[in-house]
Amino acid sequence: MVKRNKIKRIGVFTSGGDAPGMNAAIRAVVRTAITYGAEVYGILRGYDGMIYDDFIELKSQNVSNILQRGGTILKSARSMEFKTIEGRKKAFENIQKHGIEALVAIGGDGTFTGAQKFSQEFNIPIIGVPGTIDNDLFGSDSTIGYDTAMNTVVEAVDRLKDTADSHNRLFFVEVMGRDAGFIALNTGIATGAEGILIPEIETTVNDLKITLKTNLKKGKTSGIIIVAEGDQSGGAYEMARKVKEIDNSYNTRVTVLGHVQRGGAPTLADRILASKLGFYAVEALFLGKDNLMVGIQNNKIAYVPLENAIKHNSEIDHDMLRLARILSI
Ligand code: F6P
């Protein structure tokens, strides 16, 4: 076995929007750390719990039977106080008080922004585990929760297609993705949507009108337009309104899937991803790695500096939009 740095106590927390599979990652962190001889403390409600001294010891049995559960047993929050130096100082005092020598941060963009600052200011090793349904982090082909959220969307849209078809309706379905269109793009392909609107690419109401007119000519009487919440059009309600404004003949309906996408049991893919990332995050700490995010790239474990994970957004594959357009004619 590789010679490992001695770490006696590790802290783990989830922060930002929760994502299915976070529990599987917590379980992997706890059990790997225990196997390597360290104790694990769970920090409740992310950075807020660090500031307000909400720590619990996690033994192996505390993480049993959580692998298949959505949400996070450690709870999650977006901490405003941690953005201040006073907040981070309080958090560090509590970390020291509990004898925690290294941290595993499970979350997304905001979580890693805080982690990177904290690690630099107080010289505490931190490894980030990408947990967000948005998949908007650079350095991992997929983030924990992304696959589950997409499956939830696909199931919902399949149902909407039934009723859209029966009533000859055009449905605008809003999916999550404040800054990223990954969920919208892939679920659009998987459901054969007639239109996919994402923040990365501008689609005007006129572009959409042309597609819809062509579809009508071909005899398509119903349709699905997937709209990422962060799309420049302003979202599904706004786009539906604009379409109605220029052509009132469409029988439109809007469905906002919202937080439904964040819940539910993680898929097999998310359980495996979370287990791997939790395991390798702890390994990384024991191997003396620091200030990195652990990810999967081309099926292999990869580490990227936290700074890069948050700075360089993952890029949308533009060719996939072309593919979606061709396949939904
Ligand atoms: O970051 C994940 C995410 O689900 C985004 O897609 C969405 O915009 C946001 O969280 C919603 O956040 P909240 O739960 O605070 O409403």
Are residues 120 and 46 both part of a single domain?
yes
Q: Are residues 135 and 151 in the same domain?
A: no
219 plus 131 within the same structural domain = no
Angle between helices 85-97 and 109-122 (to 10 degrees): 70
Q: How many Å apart are CA 175 and CA 262, to the nearest integer?
A: 11
Inter-residue contact 144 to 22 (CB < 8 Å): yes
Task: Take residue 83 and report the two structure tokens written for it.
Answer: 């953005």
Could you give the CA distance from residue 262 to residue 259 in angstroms, rounded to a whole number?
5
> Is the pLDDT confidence value at 37 over 60?
yes
Q: Is residue 321 part of a domain?
A: no
Mark whether 131 and 258 lie in a shared domain: no
- Distance (Å, rounded) from C-alpha 210 to C-alpha 241? 16
Q: How many domains does the chain have?
A: 2
- Residue where a domain stops, chosen among 262, 293, 323: 262
Ligand 1 atom with minimal separation from the 262 CA = 4
CATH number of domain containing 132: 3.40.50.450
Predicted pLDDT of residue 250: 85
pLDDT above 50: residue 2: no
CA count, 13 A, side-chain hemisphere, 34: 15
- Distance of alpha carbon 199 from alpha carbon 7, whole angstroms: 43
Please state the rounded mean pLDDT for residues 182-209: 95
283 pLDDT more than 90: yes
The answer on 270 and 138 residing in a single domain is yes
In the reported structure, the alpha carbon of residue 263 is separated from the centroid of ligand 1 by a whole-number distance in angstroms of 12
Same domain, 113 and 250: no
Say yes or no: CB of residue 176 within 6 Å of ligand 1: yes
119 has pLDDT over 80: yes
> Helices in the chain by DSSP H: which ranges?
22-35, 46-51, 85-97, 109-122, 146-167, 182-191, 205-217, 236-246, 268-286, 306-311, 318-327
Is 134 an active-site residue? yes
Q: In the structure, what pLDDT confidence band is assigned to residue 5 with cuts at 50, 70 and 90?
A: low
Which is nearest to 256 in space by CA: 176, 158, 166?
Answer: 176
pLDDT digits (tens, 9 = 90+) for 204-242: 999 999 888 888 888 888 999 999 999 999 999 999 999
The protein residue whose alpha carbon is closest to atom 13 in ligand 1 is: 17
The two tokens of residue 240 are: 């539906």
CA dihedral 259, 262, 267, 271 (to 10 degrees): -170
Residue 192 domain-assigned (yes or no): yes
Buried b (16+ CB within 10 A) or exposed e, 182-221: bbbbbbbbbbebbbbbbbbeebeeeebeebbeebeeeebe
Last residue of one domain, picked from the residues 241, 262, 283: 262
Among the three residues 245, 262, 279, which one is the final residue of a domain in this structure? 262
Report which protein residue has its CA nearest ligand 1's atom 10: 17
Question: Residue 86 belongs to what domain range?
Answer: 9-145+266-311
210 Cα–ligand 1 center, Å: 32
Q: Which atom of ligand 1 is nearest to the CA of 16?
A: 1
Q: Are residues 203 and 189 in the same domain?
A: yes
Domain match, 49 and 129 both = yes
Among the ranges given (48-57, 68-77, 112-121, 206-215), the one the predictor scored with the smallest mean pLDDT: 206-215
Is 277 a domain residue? yes
* pLDDT score recorded for residue 316: 87
Cβ of 178 below 6 Å from ligand 1: yes
Average pLDDT over residues 152-173: 97
247: in domain: yes
Query: 95: which 2 tokens?
Result: 């970390």
Domain-embedded: residue 55 = yes
Same domain, yes or no: 111 and 67 = yes
Considering the domain architecture, whether residues 234 and 253 belong to the same structural domain is answered as: yes
Question: Ligand 1, from 22, 176, 262: best to mutate by most atoms within 8 Å of Cβ?
Answer: 176
Q: Answer yes or no: is 129 within a domain.
A: yes
The residue from 134, 136, 231, 270 that is catalytic is 134
4 part of a folded domain: no
CB of 133 sitting under 6 A from ligand 1: yes
pLDDT of the residue at 152: 98
Mark whether 125 and 92 lie in a shared domain: yes
Give me the CATH number covering residue 196.
3.40.50.460
Residues 115, 23 share a domain: yes
Torsion sign over Cα 232, 234, 240, 243? negative
Confidence of residue 1 (pLDDT cuts 50, 70, 90): very low
pTM listed for this prediction = 0.96
Check pLDDT > 80 for residue 4: no
Cα 38 to ligand 1 centre (Å): 33
DSSP string spanning 24-80? HHHHHHHHHHHHTT-EEEEETTHHHHHHTT-EEEE-GGGGTT-TT-SS-TT-----S
Please report whether residue 155 resides in a domain.
yes
Is the CB–ligand 1 distance for residue 167 below 6 Å?
Answer: no
